[in-house]
Amino acid sequence: MPDDHTPQSWEARANAYSLYGFTDLPTIKDRGAVVLTHGEGPYVFDVHGRKYLDANSGLWNMVAGFDHPGLAEAAKAQYDRFPGYHAFFGRMADKTVELSERLIEVSPFERGKVFYTNSGSEANDTLVKMLWFLGHVEGQPQRRKILTRKNAYHGVTAVSASMTGKPYNSVFGLPLDGFLHLTCPHYWCEGHDGETEEQFTARLAQELEDTIAREGADTIAAFVAEPVMGAGGVIPPSEGYFQAIQPILKRHGIPLVSDEVICGFGRTGGLWGCDTYGFTPDAIISSKNLTAGYFPMGAVILGPELTDRLQAASEAVEEFPHGFTASGHPVGSAVALKAIELIVDGGLIDRVREMTPKLEQGLRDLAAKHPNIGETRGVGFMWALEAVQDATTKAPFPPELSISEQIANACTDRGLICRPLGQAIVLCPPFILTDDQLDELLAKLDDALEAVFAAVA
């Protein structure tokens, strides 16, 4: 279904004046961009009137759909009342104060404080600056190293991209020094022959212990982890992973930070991913579902210990010298308060829990039907199907086939938007999905898989 390539088409205009991020450029050359005009519920519509079920929730975040009246009304009312401000110099909008109270209330922390950004990338960047600030003021300037995992995704600023364990960042000369990437906790992919999942988890815990011993605990500022790796391809941790690593970190005085940009506010079926996997971190990074995608906003949510330390360090130098013009934006705060209400009290997280078994069973049925699906993995409303050339050996398709891109394009042709990641297809639908819409998603995905696998067999 190639789009219009005539000089004045929307697709040609997009190509002429816009740069695309994280986009397969051969697809754009062959098919053109998809230029969208509006959305209704979980559907989006392009300039040609074509309708797509967006099983990607925009970019994980449009969990209440694309035309929720309550979210739009919250934004409009706040624009009329107080359209913009900052959180500098001891001044802050009342809605931002309310949001901070609400975030601590729904967090795993008995108390804490919140610092606002415009995105998850900026929130992770801010977290690292907080930790470096603490090291400097507390007399430990060497405590700067950040531990994350290979295949993790934490953002695109120079610092957050350094946290991201993806090889593509090498084209920027990243990571920066002091950002260390441990083994990805993906048992299906990273487990050794004959190694049980329990043994795999123990090996990763020992790797952490060995890394701390080699680097020096007093040089490590934090361990940052997504409860489920999102842009790594929806990778849940191996069994008992966080229960194995957290005691090691505590023993060495290293904070554990839960990057909940994707997992937070219901995506895993728990309010937080750390709830789903049974651990309490020292800080949480939030964005995306925080505003249900209706406003760009991120937050660093600090637990009690880091709150106290940062407060004391800031008082020692009279300020925390960091912030953004739109930090704690009053419209974003109003939207976030409404989004949290919808997720927590308005039935959206309940819908995820209700629909998850049907989504999981439907995807497992597709995997059983298509022998070129090697693994079905996920939790809640975030899942991935891993394409393989040989399911027995787990041998991938040749990279030049761009198998997941082919599947995603075949889905687009059928009116379904999903995301290719490596050789996997990722599905993270909006929380408002109905039973009929889930049936539509599964049927269109089935048809796309059938067509692509038949063509490459």
Report the distance separating Cα 215 and Cα 210, nearest Å.
9
Size of the chain in residues: 457
The pLDDT value recorded for residue 20 is 93
Task: Kindly tell me the burial class for residue 190, based on how many C-beta atoms sit within 10 Å of its own C-beta (0-12, 13-18, 19 or more).
Answer: middle
Alpha-carbon separation of residue 329 from 86, 222, 420, 440 (angstroms): 6, 28, 33, 38
The pLDDT value recorded for residue 44 is 98
pLDDT tens-place values along the chain, 457 residues long:
556 678 889 999 999 999 999 999 988 888 989 999 999 999 999 999 999 999 999 999 999 999 999 999 999 999 999 999 999 999 999 999 999 999 999 999 999 999 999 999 999 999 999 999 999 999 999 999 999 999 999 999 999 999 999 999 999 999 999 999 999 999 999 999 999 999 999 999 999 999 999 999 999 999 999 999 999 999 999 999 999 999 999 999 999 999 999 999 999 999 999 999 999 999 999 999 999 999 999 999 999 999 999 999 999 999 999 999 999 999 999 999 999 999 999 999 999 999 999 999 999 999 999 999 999 999 999 999 999 999 999 999 999 999 999 999 999 999 999 999 999 999 999 999 999 999 999 999 999 999 999 999 7
DSSP codes joined into one string, 322-346: ---TTTT-HHHHHHHHHHHIIIIIS
Report the distance separating Cα 383 and Cα 424, nearest Å.
10
Answer for the pair 146, 222: CB distance below 8 angstroms, yes or no: yes
The pLDDT value recorded for residue 27 is 87
The pLDDT value recorded for residue 223 is 98
Residues in contact with 27: Cβ distance below 8 Å, sequence separation at least 6, in sequence order: 405, 409
Report the distance separating Cα 219 and Cα 63, nearest Å.
39
Domains and CATH numbers, the chain: 34-67+347-456 (3.90.1150.10), 71-345 (3.40.640.10)
Answer for the pair 426, 381: CB distance below 8 angstroms, yes or no: no
The pLDDT value recorded for residue 249 is 98
DSSP codes joined into one string, 12-26: HHHHHH-PPSS--HH
How many CA atoms lie within 13 Å of 283's alpha carbon, on the beta-carbon side? 28
- Local structure of 128: helix, strand or coil: helix
